Amino acid sequence: MAMYPPRAGLLCLGGDYNPEQWSSDVWREDVALMREARVNLVTVGVFSWARLNPAPGRYDFGWLDEVLDLLAGHGIAADLATATASPPPWFSRAYPDSLPVDQDGRRLTYGSRQAYCPSSPAYRAAAIELVEQLAGRYGEHPALAMWHVNNEYGCHVPRCYCDRSATAFRDWLRERYASLEALNDAWGTDFWSQRYGDWAEILPPRATPAFHNPGQELDFRRFSSDALLALYRSERDVLKRHTPAIPVTTNLMAALRTDLDYWRWAPELDVVSNDHYLTAADPESQIDVAFASDLTRGYAGGPWLLMEHSTSAVNWQPRNAAKTPGQLLRNSIGHVARGSEGVMYFQWRAARAGSEKWHSAMLPHAGTDTKIWREVCELGAALDRLGEVAGSTVDADVAVVFDYASGWAQEAPSQPSVDMTCFAELRRWHATLWRSGITTDFAHPAQDLSRYRLVLVPALYLVSDATAANLKSYVDGGGTVLVGAYSGIVDEYDRARLGGYPGAFADLLGIRVEEFFPLLSGQHVALSDGGTGTIWAERGRATTATVLATHLDPPVPGCPALTRNRYGTGTAWYLGTRLPEPDLARLIRDVSEQAGVRPVLLGGNALGPDVEAVRRRHPDGTSYLFLLNHGDHTIRVPATGTDMLTGDEIGSILTLPAGGVAVLRAKEE
């Protein structure tokens, strides 16, 4: 992973800086206050295309020259954006067919942001021209530490359905399938007389009288993710040609969006960065912090960067709650605990105008005599003390496996049950592990899983033969896997696997299911182990597995609900229903214990559900135990080491106040 700013022993602090929204006299106050807060990295120019390129062929870099010189003179590095996230009005007016079209055929207009079709040649040409100008002008500027391409790809327009997108989709399909015969076979187009005889007949899945072809819908989602990725690559390649030593990133939206396949995106980024915002109505938003961080660390395969979050309230939810005292520090350190190499915000100075004027910032409307400013400065001091943590990795013995294409296919219309979600189920299983005090990685089903004691597969409906073989190999080699219901059902084209379910995993799990029995809304069934099944049931039998729990109630009394199968030298568990949280927690605890997985703190969640413990570690054996108290009461934690935030030596017990944070350094032999 590239380091930035480019020196060891430093965690980043900063945020989006939008000087073009302010007069130049404010800029000098900005850099002075940045120094006071210990800001060392700011993202500049994300939405400045209209300022940089005010008319066709005309560029104005004078203001940006001055800003970057100011930053460099004050020791503040720049994550310089390519400004391509929002074309200016003159461009959209000159090239109206560059504007995106929604599924119902409406062409969206400019006046907001992200108003472009990713397949538009005019947009791409104009974006590349701007990037060439920026890279040629600033490639050797002393402030430049990293390039920031576009912004939050796919946030508002993940898919465009215009004619240019249709042409690009057909080109993508030709490359994927090579022949119409192969495409017709993959999509099963003999159903409903959909068979294609000419590539020109194929369209994006626009509004239709009934259900779309599932294979077509799935491939369009794959194509749409790839189309945006191709845009990123086109800008990235220009930047690399001019500045091969400068890292390049774009900010992902793990946990916030599921429209892009970030497993395919992450290898293209020098630095994997992510944006995360709390949901105000979520009473356990600290778990969402962990979920987003663990996801991003999974994409990165190690340390990453929190590119955006908020100091307090956001502006885009129905009710935008402000953060309570201490929450800014706790949320920020929570991301660092799980692998972030720093803390960045949207944005530095709260805007006076525009649709984000009520979004919190590091420097609020009320100025420096505020809770937010004091807590920003407190965070800056804390990150200074934690600088040596940079470059360390997070300890995790458990991986949760998921795949975007599988989730897209499972959550498409015309499924057995609308309640059999994928992405929500990932969150439920992760939250159960969080409450148990177990740190979790996320992994793609095709990657090497051998380092994990336990692999969880909550919802993997779509599986290729290769990924199925990878999971089998993991278990055969001694691993333990727990597979959730409705997994292994279809191949990579969303075609049902024949011969009984769970298809690709039937021999691994030692079961054969002949029919699904989705439960009606609110329906529950009793299980023989004292638990309760919800949402889903299956008529099936064990072939080689041991049955641990059966259904007691209709619709499938006596059929297996939970099984365990020896496979090679490992163990494969199967859960053939959905469990409410207490039962799911009990199952995951039992499986974890049998797999030799232990909580970060021995005793697990005996300290209570509000205590979060995560360990980062350097190769030399130095470990950093992050402890966060999300509750309202002081707790006593059995731990030893030096508290890096206070300098206190902890002999055996750490007293952590309500809302408190500690980071203990220890040298392990």
What amino acid occupies position 468?
Answer: A
Decide if 201 is catalytic. Answer: no
E strand or H helix that includes residue 560: strand 560-567
E strand or H helix that includes residue 440: strand 440-443
Decide if 152 is catalytic. Answer: yes
**Apex CA 445: angle with CA 439 and CA 448, to 5°?**
75
φ, ψ of residue 328 in degrees (nearest 5): -60, -50
Which among 255, 260, 254 has a CA at the least distance from the CA of 230?
260
As a whole number of angstroms, the distance between CA 535 and CA 417 comes to 8
As a whole number of angstroms, the distance between CA 18 and CA 73 comes to 18
Helix, strand or coil, per DSSP, at residue 480: strand
In Å, how far are 121, 167, 346, 489, 498 from 502, measured between CA atoms?
A: 44, 37, 45, 5, 9
Beta strand pairing status for 480-483 and 454-457?
parallel
As a whole number of angstroms, the distance between CA 613 and CA 656 comes to 12
Helix, strand or coil, per DSSP, at residue 344: strand
Cis peptide before 413 (omega within 30 of 0): no
As a whole number of angstroms, the distance between CA 253 and CA 260 comes to 9
As a whole number of angstroms, the distance between CA 335 and CA 341 comes to 9
Q: Which of 66, 201, 217, 308 is catalytic?
A: 308
As a whole number of angstroms, the distance between CA 582 and CA 418 comes to 23
Token pair 């502006």: residue: 315
Q: What is the CA radius of gyration of the chain?
A: 26
Beta strand pairing status for 12-17 and 340-345?
parallel
Q: Which of 152, 375, 425, 538 is catalytic?
A: 152
Neighbouring residues of 602: CB distance < 8 A, sequence distance ≥ 6: 638
φ, ψ of residue 115 in degrees (nearest 5): -90, 70
What amino acid occupies position 518?
Answer: P
What amino acid occupies position 196?
Answer: Y
As a whole number of angstroms, the distance between CA 510 and CA 560 comes to 11
As a whole number of angstroms, the distance between CA 422 and CA 539 comes to 21
Which residues are part of the catalytic machinery? Answer: 152, 308
